[in-house]
Amino acid sequence: MKKEKLIIFDTTLRDGEQSPGASMQADEKMRIAKMLEKMNVDIIEAGFPAASPGDFKAVESIAKTIKDSTICGLSRALDKDIDRVGEAIKNANSGRIHTFIATSDIHMEKKLNMNPEQVTEQAIKAVKRARKWTDNVEFSAEDAGRTRVEFLIQIIEKAIDAGATTINIPDTVGYNLPHQFGDLIKTLINEVPNSDKAIFSVHCHNDLGLAVANSLSAVINGARQVECTINGLGERAGNAALEEIVMSVRTRSDIFNCDTNIDSSFIVPASKLVAGITGFAVQPNKSIVGANAFAHEAGIHQDGVLKSRETYEIMQAQDVGWDKNKLVLGKHSGRNAFKKRLSEIGVDLKSDTELNEAFARFKNLADKKHEIFDEDLQAIISDQVSDEFDECIKLVSLKVCCETGEIPKSVVVLNIDGVEQKGQSSGGGAVDATFQAIKKITRSDATLQLYSVNSITSGTDSQGEVTTRLQLGNRIVNGQGADTDIVIASAKSYINALNKIHLKDLKKHPQI
Ligand code: KIV
Ligand code: ZN
C-alpha cells in the first residue's frame, strides 16, 4: 500500500541557532542549507529575518540559492516582521512564511498582555498579510501544548479561514507526554471544522526528553509535518532530532502509514557538519549519529552480530551514512580533486583567491596528517571563514613550554586591528597558560563557560576541534578552532569566541 507523505521541516538554522552560543555565520548557514537540500528536506526554516540584518541576508541568499527545498522564514504576527520574511523569500523557487502568536493563558496574560479575542484578531491579520506575499503560509499557536483546547480549536479554524495552509502545534516548553500530545492532535483534526484544508504539523521541545516521542505520537494521530533539527539542536534542551524521527518512521514502517523523502545516507555527514559548525558535539551514545550508535562492545553482542547482523542491529550503519566518512584526499591530491570534493560536500568557494587560500590550508594540513577526510575539509573551510570574518583579533604566533615538574608557560602574539601585541603567562597547563596570555593582551571581561576538545577523525594525528564558550553580560557565544596541535586549536577557538562576543549585531529573539 502506498504510504502517505510525512513532510520534514528542518529548523536547525532557526530554532537550532537559538541554542545559546550556536549562532552561525551566513556562509556556515549556506553550507548547512545545501546539505539539507541534498538530503531532500522538504522545508528549510532558514531564519528569522526581522531579528537582524544578518539574519535577513542569510535567509535571502539561501532562498536565492536553494532550488529543491522550500525556504521558510519565521515572523511574529506583526506586519513589519511578515514583510521582512516576504522580502527575504521573494526570489525563492518555493517560499513559505511562518507566523506565530502565543495562545496559552499564561503567555497571553503574562507575556503579551492580550486577551484571546485580541490574539485571534492579530493571528487572522497576520495570516492575511502573509498571504499577500505567498500562498504557502504556516500559522503556529505558540505554547499550544499548554493552551485550552476549546480556544485552540477556535483560533485554528479562523487561521485556516484566513488562508493558513499549515497549522503548527508547538509544545514550546516540552511539557506534554506522548499519549496526551497524540490525543491533542487527534482532537484538533477531528474538531476543527475546516481541518481538511490544512496540514497539521508539530514542533516539540525536549525539556523532558520527550520531543521525538511526542512528535511520533502526533504522527500516529494524523500530523503530516514534523519540525525538527539535526542532532536535536535547539532552544534549551533542543527540538526533536531529525535523524531520530526519520529513522523511527522508516525502521517501524509496520506502525507508520507514512514515510519521508529523506535520503538517510546524508544523516551522519549532516550531523558532523552541524556539530563542527556550532561546536555542539554529539554525545557518543546519541542514537543514530553518536560514535557508539553502531559499536558493539560486549562479546556476546559482537558474536551475535558476526553470525547475523539483525541479532543486535535494527538499522544498518551505511543507511545513515556512516560509510560516507571515507578517505577522500591525501598529500598528493591536486587542486582540481580538492575543488571537486569541496563541491561534493556542498562548499562552493566564490573566487579563485578563496580556493587558493583553502588549497594552501589543505596542503599544510596534508603535510602533518596523511589522510584527509570530509570532516577535515569542513574544518579547513570553517577556519578560513572565521579568519575572513574575524577582522579584529588574529593569532600571529604561539609558543608553549611544558616540562614535567615545571610550570607551563605560553607566549602569544596577536594582531589586533592591524597592530601586533605580545603577551605571556604561566598556567596550570599549556592551554590555561595560553588563555591567560590571550586574556592579558585583549583585556576582555568575557568569562569562560565551556571548553571542550574533540578529535575530528580517528588516530593521534587527527585534528583536534575545540569549542570555547564565553559569556559577556547576557550574551553567550561559542568559538571554534581546529588544528593537529590542540593548544593551537584551543587558542584559535578562544580568539574566534572573543571576536564574536565583541560584535555589535545583536539579534532579537523570535519568542519575545
Ligand atoms: O517553540 C516554539 O513555539 C517555536 C515557534 C516559533 C514555532 O519555536
Ligand atoms: Zn521552538
Q: Does residue 172 line the site of ligand 1, with CB under 6 A? A: yes
How many A from CA of 451 to the centre of ligand 1? 29
100 Cβ inside 6 Å of ligand 1:
yes
203: CA distance to ligand 1 center in Å? 7
Residue 75 has which C-alpha cell? 515572523
CA-based nearest residue to 96, from 219, 4, 182, 14: 14
Q: Which residue among 140, 171, 173 has the greatest number of ligand 1 atoms within 8 angstroms of its CB, and so is best to mutate?
A: 140
**CA separation for the pair 468, 481 (Å, rounded):** 9
Please name the residue that has the C-alpha cell 496574560: 109
Tally of CA atoms within 13 A in the half-sphere of 124 that contains its CB: 12
How far, in Å, is the centroid of ligand 2 from the Cα of 253?
A: 27
Pick the ligand that lies closest to the CA of residue 229: 2
pLDDT at 454: 82
Tell me, in angstroms, the distance from the centre of ligand 2 to residue 218's CA.
Answer: 16
Domains and CATH numbers, the chain: 7-278 (3.20.20.70), 389-501 (3.30.160.270)
- Cα–ligand 2 centroid distance for 228 (angstroms): 9
- Asked whether 142 lines ligand 1 (CB < 6 A), one says yes
226 and 9 Cβ atoms separated by less than 8 Å: yes
The closest of 187, 172, 189 to 104, measured between CA atoms, is 172
Helices (H) then strands (E): counts for the chain:
16, 18
Q: For the purposes of burial, counting CB atoms within 10 Å of the CB of 455, is it exposed (0-12), middle (13-18) or buried (19 or more)?
A: middle
Residue 511 CA: nearest ligand 1 atom is 6
Q: With a 6 A CB cut-off, is 23 part of the ligand 1 pocket? A: no
Does residue 170 have its Cβ closer than 6 Å to ligand 1?
A: yes
Question: How many Å apart are CA 31 and CA 264, to the nearest integer?
Answer: 18
Residue 25: what pLDDT? Answer: 84
pLDDT of residue 324: 60
- Give 141 Cα–ligand 1 centroid separation in angstroms: 8
Nearest atom in ligand 1 to 11's CA: 8
* Nearest ligand 1 atom, CA 143: 3
State if residue 481 touches ligand 1 by the CB under 6 angstroms criterion. no
Indicate which residue's Cα is closest to atom 8 of ligand 1. Answer: 15
SS3 percent helix, strand, coil of the chain, rounded to 5, is: 45, 20, 35
Residue 382, pLDDT score: 79
Locate 435 and state its grid cell: 588563555
Could you tell me the pTM of the whole model?
0.87
Taken as a whole, the chain contains a residue count of 512
Atom of ligand 1 nearest to the CA of 205: 1
| Contact criterion met (CB below 8 Å) for 103 and 144 | yes
Ligand 1, residue 142: give the atom nearest the CA: 3
Ligand 1 centre from 157 Cα, in Å?
Answer: 19
Residue 73 Cβ < 6 Å to ligand 1: no
What pairing do the DSSP bridges indicate for beta strands 137-142 and 475-483?
A: unpaired
User: What is the bridge-based pairing of β-strands 137-142 and 95-102?
Assistant: parallel
Exposed (0-12), middle (13-18) or buried (19+): which is 299, by Cβ within 10 Å?
exposed
pLDDT by 10s per residue, the chain, length 512: 789 999 999 999 999 999 877 888 888 899 999 999 999 999 999 999 999 999 999 999 999 999 999 999 999 999 999 999 999 999 999 999 999 999 999 999 999 999 999 999 999 999 999 999 999 999 999 999 999 999 999 999 999 999 999 999 999 999 999 999 999 999 999 999 999 999 999 999 999 999 999 999 999 999 999 999 999 999 999 999 999 999 999 999 999 999 999 999 999 999 999 998 888 889 989 999 998 898 866 667 667 777 777 888 899 999 999 876 555 788 888 888 899 888 877 787 878 999 999 999 999 999 888 788 887 888 888 778 766 665 689 999 999 999 999 999 999 999 998 999 999 999 999 999 999 999 999 999 999 998 989 887 778 888 888 989 888 887 778 888 989 999 999 999 999 899 888 765 556 777 76
Q: What is the CA(93)–ligand 1 centre distance, in A?
A: 25
Identify the nearest ligand to the CA of 103 by its number: 1
Residue minimizing CA distance to atom 5 of ligand 1: 142
- pLDDT, residue 146, reads 98
Report the distance separating Cα 239 and Cα 174, nearest Å. Answer: 9
Rounded to whole angstroms, the Cα distance separating 112 from 279 reads 34
Q: Which residues contact 474 (CB under 8 A, 6 or more apart)?
A: none
15 lines ligand 1 (CB under 6 A): yes
Contacts of 207 (CB under 8 A, 6+ apart): 173, 174, 175, 236, 237
DSSP reduced 3-state for 41: coil
Ligand 1 pocket member 138 (CB < 6 A): no
All residues at 6 or more sequence positions from 483 whose CB lies less than 8 Å from its CB, including other chains:
463, 464, 489, 492
- The residue whose CA is least distant from atom 2 of ligand 1 is 172
Q: Of the residues 11, 12, 14, 15, which should be mutated to test ligand 1's pocket, given the most ligand atoms within 8 Å of the CB? A: 15
Expressed in angstroms and rounded, the spacing between residue 170 Cα and the centre of ligand 1 is 6
Q: Is 406 exposed, middle or buried (0-12, 13-18, 19+ CB in 10 A)?
A: exposed
Which H or E run includes 17? none
First to last CA, the chain: 45
For helices 79-89 and 53-65, the axis angle rounded to 10 degrees is: 40
> Taking the CB of residue 427, how many other CB atoms lie within 10 A of it?
17
Please tell me the predicted confidence (pLDDT) of residue 330.
84
Return contacts of 394-401, CB within 8 angstroms, 24+ apart. Answer: 394/495, 395/488, 395/491, 395/492, 395/495, 396/420, 398/434, 398/487, 398/488, 398/491, 400/430, 400/433, 400/434, 400/487
